[in-house]
Structures are given as C-alpha cells and as structure tokens.
Amino acid sequence: MAESDNGVRKSTAYPYSSGGWGSLKAVAGALAQEKVPLKEITVLLKQNKPDGFACVSCSWAKPADPHMFEFCESGAKATAWDLTAKRMTPQFFDLHTVTQLCAWHDHDLEEAGRLTAPLRYDPASDKYVGVSWEEAFEDIGRELRALDPGRVVFYASGRASLETSYMYQLFARMYGTNNLPDSSNMCHESTSVGLKEAIGAGVGTITLDDFEKTDLMFFFGQNVGTNSPRMLHQLQEARKRGVPIITFNPLREPGLLQFANPQSPVEMMTPAHTVISTQYHQLKTGGDTAAILGICKAVIHADDRAVERGEPRILDVAFIQEHTTGFEAFADYVRAASWDDIERVAGVSRADLEAAAEEYMRANAVIAHYGMGITQHRQGVQNVRMLCNLLFLRGNVGKPGAGPSPVRGHSNVQGQRTVGITEKPELAPLDKLASQFDFEPPREKGMNVVEAFEAMIDGKVSAVVNLGGNLVRSVPDRLRIEPAWRNLKLTVNVATKLNRSHLVHGEKSYILPCLSRIEIDMRESGEQAVSMEDSTGCIHGSRGVAEPASPDVRSEPYIVAQLAKHTLGEGSTVDWDRWCNDYALVREEIAKTYPETFHGLNERMWTPGGFPRDLPARERKWQTKSGKAEFKAPESIGEDPDMPERDSRSLRLMTLRSDSQFNTTIYSLEDRFRGIRGERMVILMCEADMAQHGLKKDDRVTLQTIADDGFQRRVAGLRIQPYDIPAGCIAGYYPECNPLLPLWHCAKESKVPGAKSIPVHIVEVNGTPREV
Ligand SMILES: Nc1nc2c(c(=O)[nH]1)N[C@H]1C(S)=C(S)[C@@H](COP(=O)(O)OP(=O)(O)OC[C@H]3O[C@@H](n4cnc5c(=O)[nH]c(N)nc54)[C@H](O)[C@@H]3O)O[C@H]1N2
Ligand SMILES: Nc1nc2c(c(=O)[nH]1)N[C@H]1C(S)=C(S)[C@@H](COP(=O)(O)OP(=O)(O)OC[C@H]3O[C@@H](n4cnc5c(=O)[nH]c(N)nc54)[C@H](O)[C@@H]3O)O[C@H]1N2
Ligand SMILES: [Mo]
C-alpha cells in the first residue's frame, strides 16, 4: 500500500491528492452537464467575495481577502446545479402524472431543471398544474386558518437567509406554533445541546484567525475534502507552518490525507501536494467517546506523574480551577477506565492513542474540528461533551488558536437558529418578540424532526410547510414516513427543483418555486441582498448576480411574507408587503430583537470576511447552568447502550455522502474519491468481514435492521465492494439506506438520528435467504 511522505498510509481507492486536476475536470464536467451558458460561468468569480453571493453549498467561512477563485469543486457543482439552462415548466407537468414521476430516480427529477412557476396538485388528473401566485397564497392561507396550529409543522432546511428565516419563525409563532424543526435536528443538534451544556454556547468558538495561531488540529468524523473543501486552504496554510493534524475516521478519506491546491500553478504543474493528516486513526464507528477517553487518560496519567516528580504540570491547572466544574469526578472516571475496554470499543491501540496524547501535550493551542461522525450517534451529545473535556484539560477554549469547531452543514443552518428557528421556546426571545410585535407567542415546546414524524405516523399532524428540503428522503424510516406523509391534508413546498417530497404529497399540495441566492433579486425598492452566518459565527451579506431562472419565480422572503399575510389576515401587526419589498426593514427588526449580535446589521453585513456574532465563550464567559465550563464523565464508553446485545454476525452501518451529492440532491452517480462509479447501491466492507460472511466482490445483499419493535426494515440489492474499513463496520450511501434507520434510533438528548451507526444483519445474498 502506498505510503505518503510522513508515513500516513494513502487511500487505496484514490491514491492521489484531493483538489488538483481531478477537481478542475469535475467542475468543467458539471458546468457542461448543466449546459451553463458561458456568460454565467463568470458568476463563479463572484462566489464568496465581499460584494458577491455566499456559496449555496457548505457553510465554511468566507475570508476577508478572498482568492481569485474563492470556490471549490463542490461549490462549483452546486452553483452549476442552480444555474442550469434546463427548465421544468408547467408544460412538463402536462406530460407526466405524479404517479409516473414517482418512478423517476431522484437524480432525474432534479436534473430535469429549475421550477419556473407555482403549481397546485390536481387530484382529477393526478398532475401538478399551473396556478397564479395570488390563488396559491389565498388557498394556502385559507387552509392553514382552518387547521389547529399545533398540528402544523414549519420545516426549514438550512439554506434560507437570516431575513427569510426571521420572517418564517415570526409567521409560525404569530400563527400559533413553535413547531419549527430544521435540518440541524438531523445534523449538528448534538452540538447545539452538547456545547451549550459544556461552554454555554451552542456553536463553535473559532474564527479564521485561529488557523494562524493554532499548534495542532484534530479532525473527528468530518470529510473536509468533499463537504467543506474551501477549508483545505486554511488547513494547507497551517500545515505549511508545521502544524500537525490528527484525524479519527473509520475511512481513509482522500481529502484528509493530502491536497493539491487547484489555484496554485506550482502545485498543479508539479507533483507537489500538502499532506493533511500527520496521524490517521481508523477507529470503529461509534468509537469516538472511547478514543477521546484514551487520549484524556494518557494526559491525566502524564500529569499525575508530573505531580509525583515535582515537574511542571501538564494540565492547565489555572484554567481548570478558575473556569471549570466537575474536573475531579471526570478525572476519577478517566483514571478508573480500562485500556482494554478503550481499545476494544475504539478499535485503536493504546500506543496510537498515547501518540495522539503526546502531540496534544506538546501543543499550546488546539482546535478540534468535527462533523457528522461525532453527532449522528445515539451518544452524539456525549461525543461532543468528550471533545470539550479533552479541550478543557489544557485550557483550549477561549484563547487564540484553540476551541471546538463543529463544521456545520447547510450554508445558513447556524444562522437560522440564531434568528429564532427552533422548536425550543427557551431558545427563542419570546418576550422580546411579544413586545416588539404586540402578540402573544405560544409558550409550549414545539416538535423537532423526529418528534414531528412520530406524531405524523400517529396521525397527529395535518400539514407541513417546507422551506426547502426533501424530508421524505432525508429523515429516517422512509418506508413508514411516506404513507403518513400522504395522509396529510396540506403540503406546501418552497423549492428550486422538484424532488420526491413534492410527489408524495398531501391531499392538497403546492410547489412554490423560489429564486436561488445566486440570482438577482429585484423588488420594488430595488435590488435586494440577504445575509447569513457561517460555520465560524461570522455574518455576511450576499447579493445575487445571475439572471433569475424565470420571471415567474419569487424570492424566499417574498414567498414567506405572502404566506404570512394571507394566513394571518388583517389582524397581523406586521406590514408584510413593506418587508418583502425592502429587506433592510427586516434587518432593522432583527437588530431590535438581537441587539448584541445584530446592531447595525444593514451596514455591518458588508464587512469583508463578515462580522463575528456575540459569543461570550470566546472571552471565557460561560453561560452554562453553573456559570463555568462543565466537565462531564461519559455515561458509557460504548456507542449505543440501549441496543440489544450484538451477535457475531451483526454489523454497524454508517451512511455517507458521496463526492457528487449535496444531501438528497444527487449530482451524479460518481464517488471519485472513494473509487466508486456509476452506482450508489453499494456497501463498503473489509476483506475480513467478507470472508467471515462468505461474500465475494459484487455479491448483492439485503440488509435488515436489528430491532425488536415489530417492524421489518430492509434494503435489498446492495453490491459488496471490498474497502479499507474496520472489521464489524460497513458503509452505504445516504439517502438510499434511510429505510434502515429507525426513527427512535437517535441521540437521547438531541434527537439527531444515529445515521452513522445502524445495527444490521445480512439476511439475503444474491437472492438466497440467510439464517442469522
Ligand atoms: N459537497 C457536499 N457538501 C456538503 C454536503 C453534501 O452533501 N455535499 N452536506 C452538507 C451538510 S448538511 C453537512 S451536515 C455536512 C456533512 O459533512 P460531514 O460532517 O463531513 O458528514 P458525512 O459526509 O456524513 O460524514 C463525515 C465523516 O464521518 C466519518 N465517520 C462515520 N462514522 C464515524 C464515527 O463513528 N466516528 C468518526 N470519527 N467518524 C465517522 C465518515 O467516514 C465521513 O468521513 O456537509 C455539508 N456540505
Ligand atoms: N441516513 C442519513 N440521513 C441523513 C444524513 C446522513 O448523513 N445520513 N444527514 C442529515 C443531514 S446532516 C441533513 S442537513 C439533512 C438534510 O435534509 P433536507 O434539508 O431535507 O435536504 P436537502 O437535500 O438539503 O434539500 C434539498 C432540496 O432543497 C431544495 N432547495 C435547494 N436550494 C434551495 C433554496 O435555495 N431554497 C429553497 N427553498 N429550496 C431549495 C431543492 O428542492 C432540493 O431538492 O439530511 C439528514 N439525513
Ligand atoms: Mo447537515
């Protein structure tokens, strides 16, 4: 197997660097596939620039001094997907019934192009038919008024701007519900809960400046090369300064191994590349709490020895004393933990964990980046708490170059929460909203994603309004969800492209096509801009630059305002028409509700690089229950204490994103980095497990979830692909594997579905049943 310069083994599936020529070729391919006109290709030059638009792909920070091309392969694909020359007009729907479209592949639905006009489902013809905007708003308003607000769900996928999101939550609350689930309920909610408890802020504390000051970075369960590639620039800079990067990931992801900068002529013309990870530990899925425990154990052991010998302390004793609680109980737990248990659950040797601890103890400022590999587990919140414990040991929060860094998903998912999209009343400034808009907001807790779908299955939901997203694909237990979704009275979808959730519709259903953020948004008061918050808590303006997909699409702020106006009627204290003709007015209201963060938003949103939100934890002010940063010992070191005892034939399935998808949007059937082409019904498995289960490459298997709740959850036709992955762990694609994920298999405290650790059996091989 190929070795890279520093002894970290390369990926066998993709022994090259991420970025590089492969990346440029992929960008060119995406632009050609979508037939993006040459004129619009220059749009990419405006991506993530202070005067341009914020990329619609990931939420990574936008630097103040951007590169000439401040975009990446994933961002360029997402841009091409929105700028496509293809259109899905009402005439398209004349030709296809909804039942026929249900047989289409997800990729083909979106690939057919941008939606161009509002549509209403017509049961007589089983077709979506054109409808005027006014008729659509009036009918939706009438329907919503007739329903019990407690039975209506307002979902937000994390792309919509701060302005849209603020109006959306206000609309839902004026209507009478806190049912405001969002995509972070399936994503970084374990962060929102875990970091809030530990440091008093539900978001990461680092900014781009910290990359210049850090001495060491950890990467836990985040696939930077595919999901936040612009971050590779900062990682590359840090690596050039000699900063080590220690990665914990069951798969050898090429983006975490090495990177060739497509924007550096030298690196493109020579075999030069930057090694990203200096240590790479292929832990078992769900092994993170155990692995971090092992590192903490080595650190505390070294400190105990230093005390015995009268040597300088390893722990940051001053920080622990002044700023934290719970250290003694945590340290006792760690001292008592057994290395055998740690090695078994983590699947990483003591020597390797001690090597990680050695680096950690040498560094003065440490950042811990993490993603879905940490949060999407039954113990997702505990995993986040363990990362905080590790950082606290050496005072690595609230100082330059250090801190937790949850790498967020959707481009404004963090910002939506900041402006009130949450089902938890205690996280929304309800009193403030009440006095600002003279109404009585509902005080009872609303439903998050898992709770909303449990209620839907029980017949307790009547309508869903979707601000983006594709829920019937993205949530767990799809086969139980789809029939429940079909029983809804009303489904309203604000979307750019057609997807499965629009086809599995309620009794009444509307599709309201919206502008993409890349497009020019002209309203009565002139051209509009919007704002959003990135993964590092910085707030930016974004201005569209491309021609709208059609004259009959509307902006998200307009659509939300009109839904509100037509639902709330004359009684509403908000002049929705004024707001949606001049978004600056909405920003003024946001600034009134949240003055600490958003004062002067209208001017400050154009600060190059954005302006940082108010975050007391950055100054070591802890808004936790105890007023201190809180250590917490784990409940158990296993990933899933509630599952039935495993037998030797059980496997743990993690569901992954490919290189060519954005969540449920599948750009193509390629996963270049993992060497998989033309197909997504694939299971990655190591040779040892293949031998144990008597399988050959390309065998087709059926997986069944191990659960004793009376439901049989199966996915068939999955092709076996030999892969470098720890024994007992297998990987498949999201959303194809979602029927295997039980709704209740989610983190206790955050309800984030355990998508990275689904216990399964192989129950069929090439059509022949198997005993388990
Ligand atoms: N191009 C592109 N960009 C995206 C997205 C996209 O779909 N496409 N989605 C966006 C969204 S919404 C999000 S949330 C982010 C998601 O970005 P990530 O957080 O990177 O999420 P995933 O790709 O699901 O998986 C992350 C990694 O976790 C590893 N992993 C799996 N199980 C474990 C485990 O138990 N422990 C550890 N340590 N690692 C594990 C996997 O091998 C994988 O490398 O990306 C955002 N950006
Ligand atoms: N098994 C498994 N399940 C998972 C995950 C996993 O790793 N494994 N990841 C989870 C995560 S992290 C997330 S965030 C969720 C995501 O779940 P969702 O939020 O449901 O899904 P998306 O795929 O991001 O939504 C795609 C749709 O959004 C619409 N859209 C695109 N751009 C815009 C826009 O600008 N405005 C509007 N209004 N609509 C737009 C398009 O119609 C598109 O079809 O899935 C979760 N589900
Ligand atoms: Mo996400």
Of 344, 376, 410, the residue that ends a domain is 410
Mean pLDDT of all residues in 532-546 = 92
- Of ligand 1's listed atoms, the one at least distance from the Cα of 665 is 7
Distances in whole angstroms, Cα of residue 563 to Cα of each of 133, 168, 417, 492, 527: 10, 9, 21, 10, 22
Torsion angles phi and psi, residue 749, rounded to 5: -85, -25
For the Cβ of 662 lying below 6 angstroms from any atom of ligand 1, the answer is yes
Token couple for 498: 């057609």
Cα 265 off chain centre by: 32
pLDDT digits (tens, 9 = 90+) for 322-351: 999 999 999 999 999 999 999 999 999 999
Nearest to 755 by CA among 246, 185, 56, 74: 185
Torsion region of 337: left, alpha or beta (phi above 0 gives left; psi -120 to 50 gives alpha): beta
pLDDT for res 772: 81
Number of residues that this document lists for the chain:
772
Res. 4 pLDDT band, cuts 50 70 90: very low
Residues near 108 by Cβ (< 8 Å), separated by ≥ 6? none
The H-or-E segment that residue 356 falls in is helix 350-362
Cα–Cα distance between 323 and 630 in angstroms, integer? 9
Q: Is 18 a domain residue?
A: no
Q: Which residue has the tokens 């005080």?
A: 443
pLDDT for res 3: 41
pLDDT digits (tens, 9 = 90+) for 38-88: 677 776 677 777 777 888 888 888 887 776 566 677 788 888 888 888 999
Do 172 and 205 share a domain, yes or no? no
**Ligand 1 centroid to residue 88 C-alpha, Å:** 31
- Of ligand 2's listed atoms, the one at least distance from the Cα of 188 is 12
* % of the chain at pLDDT higher than 70: 92
Do 690 and 714 share a domain, yes or no? yes
Cα–Cα distance between 335 and 674 in angstroms, integer? 39
Q: Is 194 within 8 Å of 252 (Cβ atoms)?
A: no
Question: In the chain, what are the helix, strand and coil shares in percent, each to the nearest 5?
Answer: 40, 20, 40
pLDDT for res 750: 97
pLDDT digits (tens, 9 = 90+) for 229-260: 889 889 989 999 999 999 999 999 988 887 76
Q: Is 623 a domain residue?
A: no
Cα–Cα distance between 211 and 217 in angstroms, integer? 9
Token couple for 622: 């802890």
Cβ neighbours, 10 Å, residue 305: 11
User: Which ligand does the CA of 411 lie closest to?
Assistant: 1
Residues near 25 by Cβ (< 8 Å), separated by ≥ 6? none
Q: What CATH number corresponds to the domain at position 384? A: 3.40.228.10
pLDDT for res 496: 97
Do 519 and 462 share a domain, yes or no? yes
Full 3-state SS string of 33-93: HCCCCHHHHHHHHHECCCCCECCCCECCCCCCCCCCCCCCHHHHHHHHHHHCCCEECHHHH
Which residue lies with its CA nearest to atom 44 of ligand 2? Answer: 499
**Ligand 2 centroid to residue 81 C-alpha, Å:** 14
Mean pLDDT of all residues in 80-105 = 94
For the Cβ of 249 lying below 6 angstroms from any atom of ligand 1, the answer is yes
Cα–Cα distance between 518 and 343 in angstroms, integer? 48
The bridge status of strand 279-281 relative to strand 245-248 is parallel
Res. 357 pLDDT band, cuts 50 70 90: very high
**Ligand 2 centroid to residue 209 C-alpha, Å:** 30
Our mutation pick for probing the ligand 2 site, out of 53, 58, 168, 186, counting the most ligand atoms within 8 A of Cβ, is 186
The H-or-E segment that residue 239 falls in is helix 231-240
Nearest to 544 by CA among 53, 44, 38, 42: 53
**Ligand 3 centroid to residue 227 C-alpha, Å:** 10
**Ligand 1 centroid to residue 227 C-alpha, Å:** 7
For the Cβ of 514 lying below 6 angstroms from any atom of ligand 2, the answer is yes
Do 430 and 367 share a domain, yes or no? no
Distances in whole angstroms, Cα of residue 519 to Cα of each of 56, 323, 515, 596, 642: 11, 47, 6, 31, 48
Do 144 and 203 share a domain, yes or no? no
- Of ligand 2's listed atoms, the one at least distance from the Cα of 738 is 1
Do 129 and 273 share a domain, yes or no? no
Token couple for 413: 């998912």
Cα–Cα distance between 141 and 562 in angstroms, integer? 9
Res. 2 pLDDT band, cuts 50 70 90: very low
Is the pLDDT score of 318 beyond 90? yes
Nearest to 295 by CA among 316, 312, 281, 310: 281
Nearest to 476 by CA among 396, 564, 378, 549: 378
Q: Is 37 a domain residue?
A: no
Specify which residues 477 forms β-bridges with.
Answer: none
Long-range contacts of 689-697 (CB under 8 A, 24+ apart): 689/651, 689/727, 689/728, 689/730, 690/720, 690/722, 693/649, 693/762, 694/765, 695/720, 695/762, 695/765, 696/720, 697/721, 697/722
Full 3-state SS string of 531-581: EEECCCCEEEEEECCECCCCCCCECHHHHHHHHHHHHHHHHCCCCHHHHCC
Cα–Cα distance between 110 and 293 in angstroms, integer? 44
Token couple for 464: 């869903």
Q: What CATH number corresponds to the domain at position 747? A: 2.40.40.20
Is the pLDDT score of 645 beyond 80? no
Look at the alpha carbons of 293, 296, 297, 298 in this order and tell me if their dihedral is positive or negative: positive
Token couple for 399: 């100082």
Cα–Cα distance between 510 and 115 in angstroms, integer? 12
Our mutation pick for probing the ligand 1 site, out of 74, 222, 653, 661, counting the most ligand atoms within 8 A of Cβ, is 222
Which residue lies with its CA nearest to atom 25 of ligand 2? Answer: 469
Q: Is 679 a domain residue?
A: yes
Q: Which residue has the tokens 């720890």?
A: 726
Domain extent at residue 227: 189-410
Classified as helix, coil or strand, 604 is helix
Q: Is 293 a domain residue?
A: yes
Q: What CATH number corresponds to the domain at position 524? A: 3.40.50.740
Of 384, 410, 436, the residue that ends a domain is 410
Do 166 and 210 share a domain, yes or no? no
Q: Is 562 a domain residue?
A: yes
Token couple for 444: 């009872």
In angstroms and rounded to an integer, the radius of gyration of the C-alpha atoms of the chain is: 25
Is the pLDDT score of 182 beyond 50? yes
**Ligand 3 centroid to residue 470 C-alpha, Å:** 12
pLDDT for res 771: 85
Do 194 and 180 share a domain, yes or no? no
Distances in whole angstroms, Cα of residue 666 to Cα of each of 74, 106, 300, 521: 12, 7, 46, 27
pLDDT digits (tens, 9 = 90+) for 365-412: 999 999 999 999 999 999 999 999 999 999 999 999 999 999 999 989
Look at the alpha carbons of 362, 368, 369, 371 in this order and tell me if their dihedral is positive or negative: positive
**What does pTM read for this prediction?**
0.94
Which residue lies with its CA nearest to atom 16 of ligand 1? Answer: 409
Q: Is 718 a domain residue?
A: yes
Q: Is 257 a domain residue?
A: yes
pLDDT for res 5: 45
Of 370, 389, 410, the residue that ends a domain is 410
Burial 603-634 (b: 16+ CB within 10 A, else e): ebbebebbbbbebebbebebebeeebbbbbbb
Query: What's the count of helices (H) and strands (E) in the chain, helices before strands?
Result: 32, 31
Mean pLDDT of all residues in 715-730 = 97
Do 535 and 574 share a domain, yes or no? yes
Which residue lies with its CA nearest to atom 18 of ligand 2? Answer: 469
Residues near 404 by Cβ (< 8 Å), separated by ≥ 6? 195, 199, 204, 205, 206, 367, 368, 370, 384, 387, 388, 391, 397
| Half-sphere exposure in the Cβ direction for 147 (13 Å, CA) | 26
pLDDT for res 262: 61
Count of domains observed in the chain: 3
Distances in whole angstroms, Cα of residue 156 to Cα of each of 25, 444, 493: 34, 19, 10
Do 427 and 392 share a domain, yes or no? no
Cα–Cα distance between 296 and 273 in angstroms, integer? 33
Do 526 and 672 share a domain, yes or no? no
Do 177 and 196 share a domain, yes or no? no
Q: Is 651 within 8 Å of 762 (Cβ atoms)?
A: yes
For the Cβ of 654 lying below 6 angstroms from any atom of ligand 1, the answer is yes
Lowest-confidence range among 134-148, 259-273, 339-353, 396-410? 259-273
**Ligand 2 centroid to residue 342 C-alpha, Å:** 35
- Of ligand 1's listed atoms, the one at least distance from the Cα of 222 is 20
Token couple for 29: 């391919």
Which residue lies with its CA nearest to atom 3 of ligand 1? Answer: 227
| Half-sphere exposure in the Cβ direction for 149 (13 Å, CA) | 20
What angle do the packed helices 350-362 and 288-309 form, to 10 degrees? 60
For the Cβ of 496 lying below 6 angstroms from any atom of ligand 2, the answer is yes
**Ligand 3 centroid to residue 410 C-alpha, Å:** 6
Classified as helix, coil or strand, 486 is helix
